[in-house]
Chains A and B, each alone.
Chain A
Amino acid sequence: MKYFQLVWASLFRKKARTTLTLLSVVAAFLLFGLLDAVRVAFTVPDESLDGAKRLVVSSKLSIIQPLPYSLKAQIDRIDGVEKSGYANWFGGIYQDQKNFFPNFAVSPEYIELYPELALPPEQKKAFAETRTGAIVGENLAKKFGWKIGDKIPLQATIFPNKTGGNTWTFDLVGIFHGATPEDRRNEDQMIFRYDYFDEGRTFGTGTVGWYVVKAADPAQANRIAQQIDKLSANSANETKTQTEKEFQLAFVKQLGDIGLIVTSIMAAVFFTILLLTGNTMAQAVRERIPELAVLKTIGFGNRTVLGLVLGEALLLIALGGFIGLGLAAGAAKGLSAAFQGGVFALTPRSWLLGALIILALGLIVGLPPALRAMRLKIVDALSGH
């Protein structure tokens, strides 16, 4: 700690240059924090106990290929299956194309299969009793100003209504909220009754989009998955049963490999930062050769000088990095509020990854000039050679 003031003073010897470099490091880590928050929001699956118990059964061919109703009874008979339900993507839009949110039809068991969607008992009852009933997440309700009792018209993009139009009208009977802060990511969904949907659509009646199966014991999930897939092996409706985690990751991959996109952007950003700060540090040490020689003259050892220069590089990156991550954490909170239900946040893993990148960048940037400073020959440096 006694060297801190010396390191700090050396770092800010050229205030303008250091400030500009620092700002670029801040910008890089702000970008990293935000992109990582987006990546986590899109790719990190539900790893709760409920999530671990759930299996998703979809067509082996494609997630949009429907499966027959008849499969439900067969699935329920498999040993270890506690409950099963089904759902179908609806893809409706509210008033305008830009008002897109996930909406799908679900079987009566669905609510029980997802206890993380907390719904008051009387609303649950109303959902069960209202054929045109729909429930929405709290954030979605806030976004559109919906309240219980409202009629919500959705424009179908896939399933026209038998009445001859694209408009489906739902009665809002419940508003659910995420049971935990992590579950709030589900609060931008709308779900409605399957029977209303199935009877009203012009095609596909008697089929489901996917099944959700809850295993009594997560340890049995793999065995159950294999047994489910066996049910339709060599049929026209072969299934692919995956854990919910695998299913979610596969679903997100349809949007593109977000992890790869984020990693690629960050690699480019950090490479630029590496060049920028590397150049700043090299220049700073080059300018200070006589001063470093003086430190060595008065007794600073080679390792101490190495540590001082390395400490300077680490301080520069750490200062910029943590300010950037801090700003990203604040901005992620702002984004979450703006998207009402999005769960953009810097996870402890993001902070740890950020800290490791700070350390790595600091060492890569600091080591070459630090080694140069360490190897400095006093007599040559003092005489200007």
Chain B
Amino acid sequence: MNNLVSIKSLTKAYERGKQRVEVLHGIDLDIAAGDFVALMGPSGSGKTTLLNLIGGLDTPSTGSITVDGQRIDQMNSGELAKWRSANVGFVFQFYNLLPMLSALKNVELPLLLTSLSAAQRKRNAEIALQLVGLGERVHHKPKELSGGQEQRVAIARAIVSDPKLLVCDEPTGDLDRQTADEILRLLQTLNREHGKTIVMVTHDPKAAEYARRQLHLDKGTLVNDAAATA
């Protein structure tokens, strides 16, 4: 299988006052196209930092990150913004929907950056919402939806521009077990039936079981790489 993500000797350090704190130490990682990876580890292990680097939200201190053949570690902030809009979908723990917009308008947001007409944008957003099972709730605002429904809207927003890579940071962290399972099944469907490559940070071992592969980080280093059973 081809690698969609290829990471070599990756380090990330932050300056805290006069101190330099290295969060990731020489990570080497390949993620195949179509894989569903769960990134696990204790708090402060560097999971979210690694996820942010893979999603192009941050830049590494040293090392390289290649996604779909593009060296994103060498891109400036403008290039990264363009790259993200075309190649990555993001799902957050707290959904991060814009409260004043309807579900449809929230999903349409990434499409504003494309050259699609208003009618095409609407059509694509409706399709994405139907795909996540919210075709009937397109005009509802986030506060009129349940947590699970909000996360579905967020997933629809993540997939509406048809990116190859989905980056999910604790997507079920704010949901009850049953709703979390529904969301995870949805992600699994997107991975298995629509070929999306998913990298998901989670604390929850049950959530990790939905992934094809589990990676464990501890103190900024990959300590275990195992194929999941699901």
Interface residues of A (CB under 8 A from B): 2-3, 5-6, 9-10, 12-13, 290-291, 294-302, 304, 378-379, 382-383
> Does B100 lie within 8 Å of A300, measured CB to CB?
no
* Of the residues A3, A298, A383, contact of B85 by C-beta under 8 Å: A298
For B57, what are the chain A residues with a Cβ–Cβ distance below 8 Å?
297, 378-379, 382
> Does A9 lie within 8 Å of B105, measured CB to CB?
yes
Interface residues of B (CB under 8 A from A): 48, 52, 55, 57-58, 77-78, 81-82, 84-86, 90, 92, 96, 98-101, 105, 109-110, 112-113, 118, 157
> Does B92 lie within 8 Å of A382, measured CB to CB?
yes
> Does B98 lie within 8 Å of A291, measured CB to CB?
yes
* Of the residues B55, B100, B109, B118, contact of A295 by C-beta under 8 Å: B109
With A9-B105, A379-B57, A382-B92 known to touch, is A300 a contact of B77 (CB < 8 Å)? Answer: no
* Of the residues A13, A379, A382, A383, contact of B100 by C-beta under 8 Å: A13
Please name the residue on chain B nearest to A301 by beta carbon. B81
Please name the residue on chain A nearest to B83 by beta carbon. A299
State A6–B110 Cα separation when bound (angstroms).
12
> Does A300 lie within 8 Å of B81, measured CB to CB?
yes
For B58, what are the chain A residues with a Cβ–Cβ distance below 8 Å?
378-379
| 25 pairs from A and B in contact (CB 8 Å cutoff) | A2-B112, A6-B101, A6-B109, A9-B98, A9-B101, A10-B100, A13-B99, A290-B96, A291-B98, A291-B99, A294-B92, A297-B57, A297-B90, A298-B84, A298-B90, A298-B109, A298-B113, A300-B85, A300-B113, A301-B78, A302-B77, A304-B113, A378-B57, A382-B57, A383-B48
* Of the residues A291, A302, A378, contact of B78 by C-beta under 8 Å: A302
Please name the residue on chain A nearest to B94 by beta carbon. A290
4 residue pairs, one from A and one from B, having the closest CB atoms: A299-B85, A9-B100, A301-B81, A13-B100
For A3, what are the chain B residues with a Cβ–Cβ distance below 8 Å?
112
Please name the residue on chain B nearest to A2 by beta carbon. B112
Please name the residue on chain A nearest to B82 by beta carbon. A299
State A291–B97 Cα separation when bound (angstroms).
7
For A298, what are the chain B residues with a Cβ–Cβ distance below 8 Å?
84-85, 90, 109-110, 113, 157
Q: In the complex, how many angstroms separate the beta carbon of B13 from the nearest chain A beta carbon? A: 14
Q: In the complex, how many angstroms separate the beta carbon of A235 from the nearest chain B beta carbon? A: 78
State A6–B105 Cα separation when bound (angstroms).
9
> Does B105 lie within 8 Å of A297, measured CB to CB?
no
State A144–B105 Cα separation when bound (angstroms).
63
For B157, what are the chain A residues with a Cβ–Cβ distance below 8 Å?
298
> Does A299 lie within 8 Å of B105, measured CB to CB?
no
> Does A2 lie within 8 Å of B105, measured CB to CB?
no
Please name the residue on chain B nearest to A288 by beta carbon. B98
Please name the residue on chain A nearest to B102 by beta carbon. A9
State A9–B112 Cα separation when bound (angstroms).
15
> Does B82 lie within 8 Å of A301, measured CB to CB?
yes
* Of the residues A6, A10, A291, A302, contact of B112 by C-beta under 8 Å: A6
For B96, what are the chain A residues with a Cβ–Cβ distance below 8 Å?
290-291, 294, 382
For A378, what are the chain B residues with a Cβ–Cβ distance below 8 Å?
57-58
Q: In the complex, how many angstroms separate the beta carbon of A294 from the nearest chain B beta carbon? A: 5
Please name the residue on chain A nearest to B117 by beta carbon. A2
Please name the residue on chain B nearest to A15 by beta carbon. B100
> Does A299 lie within 8 Å of B100, measured CB to CB?
no
Please name the residue on chain B nearest to A12 by beta carbon. B100
Q: In the complex, how many angstroms separate the beta carbon of A375 from the nearest chain B beta carbon? A: 10
> Does B81 lie within 8 Å of A299, measured CB to CB?
yes
Please name the residue on chain A nearest to B154 by beta carbon. A294
State A5–B57 Cα separation when bound (angstroms).
26
Q: In the complex, how many angstroms separate the beta carbon of B6 from the nearest chain A beta carbon? A: 22
Of A6, A290, A295, A298, most B-chain CB atoms within 10 Å: A298
State A327–B113 Cα separation when bound (angstroms).
38
Q: In the complex, how many angstroms separate the beta carbon of A273 from the nearest chain B beta carbon? A: 24
State A295–B100 Cα separation when bound (angstroms).
14
Of B57, B77, B98, B105, most A-chain CB atoms within 10 Å: B98
State A167–B77 Cα separation when bound (angstroms).
86
For B55, what are the chain A residues with a Cβ–Cβ distance below 8 Å?
297
State A382–B96 Cα separation when bound (angstroms).
9
State A383–B170 Cα separation when bound (angstroms).
13
State A29–B173 Cα separation when bound (angstroms).
50
State A45–B4 Cα separation when bound (angstroms).
76
State A290–B118 Cα separation when bound (angstroms).
26
Please name the residue on chain A nearest to B53 by beta carbon. A379
Please name the residue on chain A nearest to B98 by beta carbon. A291
Q: In the complex, how many angstroms separate the beta carbon of B135 from the nearest chain A beta carbon? A: 21
State A178–B100 Cα separation when bound (angstroms).
55
Of B57, B77, B81, B92, most A-chain CB atoms within 10 Å: B81
State A295–B84 Cα separation when bound (angstroms).
11
Please name the residue on chain A nearest to B169 by beta carbon. A382
For B105, what are the chain A residues with a Cβ–Cβ distance below 8 Å?
5-6, 9
For B98, what are the chain A residues with a Cβ–Cβ distance below 8 Å?
9-10, 291, 294
